[in-house]
């Protein structure tokens, strides 16, 4: 009898959806599997902001332990939650085709007034740094330091509140709060059919490295599980997310940082956009570059080093000192 793969997953609706997707795709290749539910520290503490928890690995380390302890064979993660350095003995076995990488604003209140204050006119974002709406003092919620920094860079007069919990919990908190809106990953809401009608894509906001992608990991010594998961691997998504994560690791290495990156492939060329901001959003270093796919392997590292040389090293030092 062939081996039944044990798929480790967190218990949130989104995590289970992702693990079930992997299970279904494995089944299409004739590979049997079962889900094993594991609660992570990130699911237990829903109050403390992620950047105060020492977020790196907060959603993955419990599954890592289960993998290394041979309680599961593979683990399924939202790739943006995975540290850029995997735990010793664990390797990336597959990256599924990427869904939407966009961030969304889920909003409340009078749509016309809100859109005016945000500068979202006739379906386009037209205001930079909130300069034409000096009296805009909206209250927006997010637990992401990256989203917070980019929002304050564009709207310095706004206030940002912390928002934690799984997708369902966060949507309920928004409905019950005095916030004007909250920021979510589009893929997370769309995958489980929970994107509210009152939501708009923030196409000016660069995503977290690997946002919208699903990663499968396994034990380094488990060649059978690795080969099974390789059947699901999407080469383009794997390359783009590798470039983005190399950029993140070169600049700082953690995911609780105001660092954003997006790599896309168009006509055999990689188009890369990346930035790093100060925590308060006042300083920003950014870049856009296009390279042939054939010479893009080290693109994230190269661009990360260039930003550091341009002065981004000062922001990195400030972030490290703030976390010391």
**Token pair 């599924």 in the structure block, residue:** 96
Q: Exposed, middle or buried, 284 (CB in 10 Å: 0-12/13-18/19+)?
A: middle
Eight-class DSSP state of 142: -
The beta strands (E) that lie in the chain are given as 5-9, 33-37, 74-78, 90-95, 103-107, 120-121, 124-125, 139-141, 159-161, 181-185, 199-201, 214-219, 259-266, 269-277, 284-292
- Tell me, yes or no, if 298 is annotated catalytic: no
> What six digits make up the tokens of 180?
């004007």
Strand order of the β-sheet with 5-9 is: 33-37, 5-9, 74-78, 214-219, 90-95
Alpha-carbon torsion 20, 26, 31, 36, what sign?
negative
Among residues 43, 45, 64, 81, the one annotated as catalytic is: 81
For 10-46, b where at least 16 C-beta lie within 10 A, e where not — what string? bebbbbbbbbeebbebbeeeebebebbebebebbeee
**Token pair 């090293």 in the structure block, residue:** 313
**Token pair 């805009």 in the structure block, residue:** 136
**Token pair 């928004």 in the structure block, residue:** 174
The beta strands (E) that lie in 162-312 are given as 181-185, 199-201, 214-219, 259-266, 269-277, 284-292
CA distance 155 to 22: 39
Tell me which residues are annotated as active site: 81
């Amino acid at each position: 009898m062939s081996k039944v793969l044990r798929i480790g997953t967190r218990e949130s609706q989104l995590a289970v959806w992702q693990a079930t997707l992997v299970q279904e795709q494995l089944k299409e290749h004739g590979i049997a599997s079962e889900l094993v539910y594991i609660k992570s520290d990130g699911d237990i503490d829903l109050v403390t902001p992620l950047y105060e928890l020492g977020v790196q690995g907060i959603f993955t380390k419990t599954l890592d332990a289960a993998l290394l302890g041979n309680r599961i064979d593979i683990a399924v993660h939202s790739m943006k939650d995975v540290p850029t350095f995997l735990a010793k003995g664990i390797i990336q076995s597959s990256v599924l085709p990427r869904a939407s990488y966009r961030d969304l604003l889920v909003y409340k209140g009078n749509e016309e007034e809100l859109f005016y204050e945000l500068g979202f006119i006739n379906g386009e974002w037209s205001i930079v740094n909130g300069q034409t709406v000096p009296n805009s003092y909206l209250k927006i919620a997010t637990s992401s330091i990256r989203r917070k920094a980019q929002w304050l860079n564009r709207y310095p007069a706004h206030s940002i509140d912390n928002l934690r919990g799984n997708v369902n919990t966060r949507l309920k908190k928004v409905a019950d709060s005095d916030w004007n809106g909250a920021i979510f990953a589009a893929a997370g809401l769309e995958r489980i059919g929970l994107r509210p009608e009152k939501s708009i894509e923030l196409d000016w906001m660069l995503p977290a490295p690997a946002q919208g992608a699903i990663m499968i990991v396994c034990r380094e010594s488990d060649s059978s599980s690795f080969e099974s998961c390789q059947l699901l691997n999407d080469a383009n998504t794997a390359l783009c997310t590798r470039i983005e994560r190399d950029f993140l690791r070169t600049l700082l290495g953690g995911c609780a940082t105001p660092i954003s990156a997006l790599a896309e492939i168009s006509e055999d060329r990689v188009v890369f956009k990346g930035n790093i901001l100060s925590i308060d959003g006042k300083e920003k270093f950014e870049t856009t570059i296009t390279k042939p796919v054939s010479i893009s392997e080290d693109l994230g590292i190269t661009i990360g080093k260039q930003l550091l040389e341009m002065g981004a090293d000062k922001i990195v030092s400030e972030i490290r000192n703030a976390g010391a």
